[in-house]
Structure formats: structure tokens, C-alpha cells
A and B are shown apart, each in its own frame.
Chain A
Amino acid sequence: MKILVCISNVPDTTTKVRFTNDNTQLDTNGIQWVINPWDELALTRALQLKEDKNNSVESVTVIHVGGKESEPTIRKALAIGADDAIRVNAEPTDAYFVASQLAEVIQQHDFDIIFAGIESSDYNGAAVGGMLSEMLGMPSISAVSSFELENDQVRIIREIDGGKETMTSQLPLVVVAQKGIAIEPRIANMRGIMMARKKPLNVVEPAEKDSMVDFVDFELPQAKPPCKMVDPENVQELVDLLQNEAKVI
């Protein structure tokens, strides 16, 4: 069984975002780039599955659409244990473009399980995994918070509004992962970092694909008025404010 994990390269979650060129572009100065948190959890789970000898997972591959500057992030995925990596050498313009590029490459391989994080922490589109599954004509299960393999059968828990469903599926399958699929993302150790340098990172040139949306410009949220402080000895005042000023209770 072969597993593929789609990874996105995003600013570290503590980044203070700024924009340049009339607010049309992200100011990348000083940004630390990391594996998208949900993709990192999915990758962690894929590696656990491979290490569990009860399963017959042959390999865990990661794939990414991005320029050469994203290679440190891909190497990090290799350092924590992925066997090999594919980089589609294109600037990601929107989710549809990224999913199209991924589909193009995936069609030339035979992966049984494809993981994607439920969203990326940059553009929060929650789109690539779903689009990809449709382009590949594969089933997909979204909001997956638990993933088990038993005799090459999948046992999945997905979160629904107000509960959980236990599921099975035919393979190949696209698994759209959320929090819970793994608890803590894996951290690379020195041996992993050394080994990652020798692991294959295959660069493929992009297919001709269009995007369907343009990011016109960005804006920062309006500054909040300063917090009104209430004396801890007088919580009655807070109740008054919530009832008469905010009118939320």
C-alpha cells in the first residue's frame, strides 16, 4: 500500500502578517515557513501507519506545489520520516490550480491513500483535498479525526455537526484530515535531518492549468476599541454592560 500526503508551505502560525504593493501581496520579509499544521498531522499519522508492522504500508510520499524556496519545508517532511517527495515547480495561484497540478502527477502513480489537510492556515480555502478527489474521480471523506488500517481496510472517524461517524471506504481514497488524526506533530531529530538530505526530491514541471479565482487585495482587521475594564469587586457592572450596551444577554 502506498500513501501520499499533500503538503502546503505556510507562514508560521505566530507570524504577524503584512502586505505590500498596495496590499496586493503578502510581505514575505522575515517570515518563517512551515508545513501547514493539518498536513503535518496527516503526515505524522501516515508515518505511524507505516511503522506499525501490522500494516503493509510500503511508502509515504509527500507532494507539494511550489517554487524552489519551499524546499526547506519539503526537506522537513523528509526529515520527520517521509520516504520521498515530489515538488511541482509552479507558483500556487489558487486551490483549483494546485489541485489540478496535483491530479496531473497523481494520475501517473498508483497511490492507495491520499491525505490532505482540511485547510491551510494561509488562505483558509478548505478546498484542495475535495477538488483533488473530484478531479481523480475518487471517493473522499472529510473532517477525519481518526484513521486506522486493518488488513488493508480503512476504519475512519469523521466529525459531523453534533457527533461522529465511523466509516469504511473503497480504495483509492482521499482523506481530508482535521485535528485528532494525530495528537502532536512529529519533530525531526538530527539523524532524520541528515537522512533527509539523501532522500529523493523529484521536481516535475507543471502542466498548463488555469486558476479560477484571483486574490484582488488584502486588508487588515480594523483595530478594536480599547477593552473596557471592570472592577473585580463589582461584577454587577459587567452584567449591566452585557445587557444594556452589548445587548447580547
Chain B
Amino acid sequence: MAILVYTEHWDGQFKKSTFELVSYASKLAEMADAQTVALSIGQVDEDNLRQLADYGADKIITVNQANLKYLDNQAYTSVIQQVADQEGADIMVLAHNNTGKALAPRLSARMQAALGSEVNQLPAELDPFVVNKKVFSGKAFANVKLKTDKKVLTLAQNSFGIYENTQEPIIENFEPTLSDEQIKTQVTDVEKHRDKLLLTDAELVVSGGRGMKSPENWDKLNDLANELGAALACSRPVSDEGWRPHEEHTGQTGKIIAPDLYIAAGISGAIQHIAGVSAAKYIVAINNDPDAPIFEMADYGIVGDAMQVLPELTEALRKARS
């Protein structure tokens, strides 16, 4: 019996979210008295691969095949299934990011394995296998029973934590059966946001809403973000107005994030916005309307003009850190 965890990498590097995922898989393996097998597709050097064993991977399987350079959902699903079959894996674990959302449902249908999507904790026991997940865009949680022997889980980002559990791993290469004809999608161009802290990875996020009044005022948010080492986000009206790129839109139809700290300036806190940030561990609200709904969600609040408060906050942080 094994737990198979699909570990995505970015140009050969893993992220903290990968280690969180492996930590989760290895705790699950402990419950099931099973091996934790990590699968990595593409070129990753051995030192980086060994990092997976620091969080509990007993075995690391690598797949290097030229036709797997880019994510093709059908091909990757087939590879994961082939490895799962070889390893006798009953539970497959993926991240609840764009890649995991693309592959997990395919894998579920392919392997007749119930899908527990965006789970936020371990199941209390293995039988019945009940997982907890957010529903109604964060307005409630559901306990979901997975009824089949095999299972696929996607883990909500920043929901579990990272736990060291160093193993001496076996590293093996796997040759999947996969012809070029089976690959039906092609990537023709890649555009990367280089050197930019990714909103969904960020532990600290500084966000602005319509209360920021104009795009020129974003330098005040930017200064604070730079001081904190935070990523920038915004509310929907701001991205719809074109003040900020839509990648920064945080909310129900935008990005769903779970940082340690979310600072919302000039954001009233519409229910759709809250849906995107309710998993933040701490929320700070800065708004000149004391009745803004954001204060019901916030841990700390300042009623005041964001244009004045933001520079003062940046300055206070600078002093506190020097």
C-alpha cells in the first residue's frame, strides 16, 4: 500500500507548497501504515529531489520524457495512473492549484477513485474516509465521505503546514508508455511573471480597493508591500476598472488565497471579496467607513483615510525593524 503524491516543480525548483503537500501525504501514509511515494515529472536535479525526503517521501519516482515538457492533461493523467498502478497506490494526493485542478478530476474518473477536492485537514480515520472542505465559496464547510477504495485528494494551499520527517529515499526513474500521438495539446508560447512574488504563494498580502481612489495612489500600497516583502492584490472593481491587472483580483471569481496576513485598504468587504480571503490567518482592515463589512471579518481595524494611514504604517514598520 502506498500514498502517491504528485510533486510539481517550477524550472526544477520545488516550492514551500510542495513540501506542505508531501508533509500531508506522509502523515496520511503514517495513518495508513503505508509508504509515501513522490512522483516528479521533468528535469529536477538530485539535490532538489532529495528535499522531498526531508518531509517524508520514502521513494521518489522521476519521469523524464521529451514529450512531457509541458502539461498535457491527458498525458500527465496517464503517467500518474501508470505510476500509481506500479506502486499499488490507493490514495493520490495533488495540490489544489491550477495543475492539480486540471489533473485530479481526470485521474479520479480514470481510476474510479472518489475525489476529495480542496481538503483542508487529514481525515479523522481511514474508514469511513471523511474529509473536510470549504463549500459555498467559504460560507460553510462540508464533511465529505469518499466511498470508493481508491481516492484522489487535492490539498488546499497553506491549510496544513510543513513538517520535517527526514527519510533516506529510494530514487527511481520510470519509463511510461506514452506515444507522441497521445499528446493532443501543444504549448506555443510561455510568458512568465519573472521575479514577482506569486500572490497564491505569498505569506503576506497587501490589497487595495476602490477606496484607494485612483491607480496613482498604488505607490502607497507598493511601499508598504516592499517594506513587508508582501505581494499585491486588489478587489474586483479595481481590476475591472483596469487600475490593476486581473491576476491581482482576489475574490470569489478571482484568486482564492490563504496568506498569514492580509491587509485590506479601501476595501469595503463585499461577500464575494471575502470568499477569496476568508482563509487568511489574520486580516487587517483600513477603511474610512466604520460600518464597512470588512470590519466584521478583520482581526485588526483602523477607521481612517488609507492615504494617510498607509505611509504611516510603512514608516512605523521601518522603525520597528531597524
Chain A positions near chain B (C-beta within 8 angstroms): 11, 13-17, 19, 37-38, 95-96, 99, 118-119, 121-135, 139-143, 145, 158-170, 173, 176, 179-180, 183, 211-221, 224-225, 227-232, 235-236, 238-243, 246, 248-249
CA distance A31 to B142 in the complex (A): 19
A166 CB contacts on chain B under 8 angstroms: 187-191
Per-position 1/0 for B148-186, Cβ under 8 A of A:
100000100000000000000000000000000000111
- State which of A11, A180, A243, A248 has its C-beta within 8 Å of the C-beta of B136: A11
Restricting to B41-90, which residues have a CB under 8 Å from any CB of A? 70-74, 77
Restricting to B279-322, which residues have a CB under 8 Å from any CB of A? 281-282, 284-285, 295-305, 308-309, 312-313, 316-317, 320
A161 CB contacts on chain B under 8 angstroms: 8, 10, 97-99, 198, 200-201
Looking at B23-31, B107-115, B214-222, the stretch in contact with chain A turns out to be: B107-115
A236 CB contacts on chain B under 8 angstroms: 316, 320
Interface residues on B, range: 35 or more
Chain B positions near chain A (C-beta within 8 angstroms): 8, 10, 70-74, 77, 96-99, 101-110, 112-118, 130, 133-148, 154, 184-193, 196, 198, 200-201, 203-204, 228, 240, 246-247, 249, 252-254, 260-261, 271-272, 275, 278, 281-282, 284-285, 295-305, 308-309, 312-313, 316-317, 320
CA distance A212 to B148 in the complex (A): 6
B299 CB contacts on chain A under 8 angstroms: 224-225, 227-228, 246
Given A128-B105, A133-B106, A214-B147, 13 additional A-B pairs, CB 8 A: A14-B271, A17-B140, A124-B137, A125-B115, A127-B108, A130-B105, A161-B98, A162-B198, A167-B185, A212-B147, A221-B139, A235-B313, A246-B299
B98 touches A125 (CB 8 A): no
A-B contact pairs, 24 of them (CB 8 A): A13-B275, A15-B136, A95-B105, A118-B101, A124-B117, A130-B109, A139-B74, A141-B185, A143-B101, A143-B102, A161-B97, A165-B187, A168-B185, A212-B147, A213-B147, A215-B142, A217-B143, A224-B297, A230-B302, A232-B305, A236-B316, A238-B302, A242-B261, A242-B300
B108 touches A142 (CB 8 A): no
Q: Closest 4 interchain pairs by CB? A: A130-B105, A232-B304, A142-B102, A212-B114
CA distance A224 to B269 in the complex (A): 15
Q: How far is the CB of A211 from chain B (nearest CB, A)?
A: 8
A239 CB contacts on chain B under 8 angstroms: 313, 316-317, 320
Tell me the dominant secondary structure on chain B's binding face: mixed
A159 CB contacts on chain B under 8 angstroms: 98, 247
A143 CB contacts on chain B under 8 angstroms: 98, 101-102
Q: How far is the CB of A13 from chain B (nearest CB, A)?
A: 5
A130-B105, A166-B188, A214-B145 are known contacts. Are A121 and B252 too (CB-CB below 8 A)?
yes
- State which of A160, A176, A232 has its C-beta within 8 Å of the C-beta of B302: A232
Residue of A nearest to B111 (CB): A134
Q: How far is the CB of B303 from chain A (nearest CB, A)?
A: 7
B302 touches A229 (CB 8 A): yes
Residue of B nearest to A222 (CB): B141
A121-B136, A125-B115 are known contacts. Are A215 and B144 too (CB-CB below 8 A)?
yes
A219 touches B141 (CB 8 A): yes
A142 touches B115 (CB 8 A): no
A168-B185, A179-B246, A229-B301 are known contacts. Are A213 and B317 too (CB-CB below 8 A)?
no
B308 touches A227 (CB 8 A): no
